Amino acid sequence: MPEGPSILILRETLARFTGAVVREADGRVALDLTRLRHRRLLAVRSWGRHLLLEFDGFSLRVHLLLFGSCRIGDATTPSTGSPAVSLRFDDGTRLDFHAVSAKWVEGDLDAHYDGSADILSPAWDAKAARGKLRIAPHTLVCDVLLDQAIFAGVGNIIKNEVLFRVRIHPLSRIGALPDPLLARMIDETRIYGFDFLAWKRQNVLKRHWQVHEQRNCPLCHRTLARIAQLGKRRRRSFHCDHCQALHVLPTLFDASLRTHASGNAPA
């Protein structure tokens, strides 16, 4: 369940561990988690889909990938399965992460993370996103929305829903979008992120999906396109071929890009 808003909720849930001291730490990840023994958890932070447990001088970055989960328990809670990361604190509480990827982040977190890219952060900067997008006019919008360096926290659901909200076809090219529409897409990404967050908190997210996992377009009622591997990232796309406009680059530009990309001269 890990798109940015879900991680933000997880961060809030784990905030109660702030200040706790680790008694024992282990897990199946290829890290020496004993490094955490007797260290005090200074803060629980997040950036996009990254959950960050901050200690003095370093942090543990936990990524839930597609299947990750987190369980809170105490000494009496039997540990189910073998957690990727398992932390036991001095007060007897425990924190187990299953199916996550974990890494150390050395030094100051702010030196590693660009807050302006996090769609849910107060530091989010739409203009910065726009600047990054200008560099790659040929990229498909369905790929660019999933680019964590530009839209940290966006996942496949947010991508599908945002593109429907702004009526942009996922196979459109960034450089083909009129400026005002591009600006709307960027703004709507953050707006939907907060809608997702609110709905997720109330446990009503799914009932608000307009296209994701839906059969028909809520506007024209035609059958939605359901494509299982769209774009470079090969993620599922739910979109309406009729209501979402396809913005393509001028033919010459497009053709020269293709030629360049394939490395072959046209016949």
Partner DNA sequence: TAACATGTTACGGT
Partner DNA sequence: AACCGTAACATGTT
Residues forming contacts to DNA in the complex (CB under 7 A) are: 1-3, 6, 48-49, 63, 65-67, 69, 81-82, 84, 98-99, 101, 146, 148, 155-157, 212, 228, 232-236, 261
Q: Which is nearer to DNA, 105 or 181 (CB)?
A: 105
Q: Which is nearer to DNA, 140 or 166 (CB)?
A: 140
Q: How far is the CB of 256 from DNA (least distance, A)?
A: 15
Token representation of residue 203: 């446990």
Q: Which is nearer to DNA, 40 or 208 (CB)?
A: 208
Q: How far is the CB of 90 from DNA (least distance, A)?
A: 26
Name which of 148, 121, 120 is nearest 132 in CA terms: 148
Other C-beta atoms closer than 10 Å to the C-beta of 12 total 12
Is the sign of the CA dihedral 229, 142, 61, 198 positive or negative?
negative
Beta-strand relationship, 225-230 and 235-239 = antiparallel
Q: How far is the CB of 48 from DNA (least distance, A)?
A: 7
Taking CB atoms within 8 Å and a gap of at least 24, the contacts of 87-90 are 87/22, 87/24, 87/25, 87/33, 87/36, 88/22, 88/23, 88/24, 88/25, 89/17, 89/20, 89/21, 89/22, 89/23, 89/41, 90/20, 90/21, 90/22, 90/23
DSSP 79: P
Q: How far is the CB of 28 from DNA (least distance, A)?
A: 7
Q: Which is nearer to DNA, 41 or 51 (CB)?
A: 51
Q: How far is the CB of 266 from DNA (least distance, A)?
A: 18
Q: How far is the CB of 50 from DNA (least distance, A)?
A: 8
Q: Which is nearer to DNA, 75 or 207 (CB)?
A: 207
Other C-beta atoms closer than 10 Å to the C-beta of 262 total 9
Which are the contacts of 88, defined by CB distance < 8 A and separation ≥ 6? 22, 23, 24, 25, 75, 94
Q: How far is the CB of 155 from DNA (least distance, A)?
A: 2
Q: Which is nearer to DNA, 67 or 194 (CB)?
A: 67
Provide the residue count of the chain. 267
- Name residue 61's beta-bridge partners: 52, 103
Q: Which is nearer to DNA, 183 or 199 (CB)?
A: 199
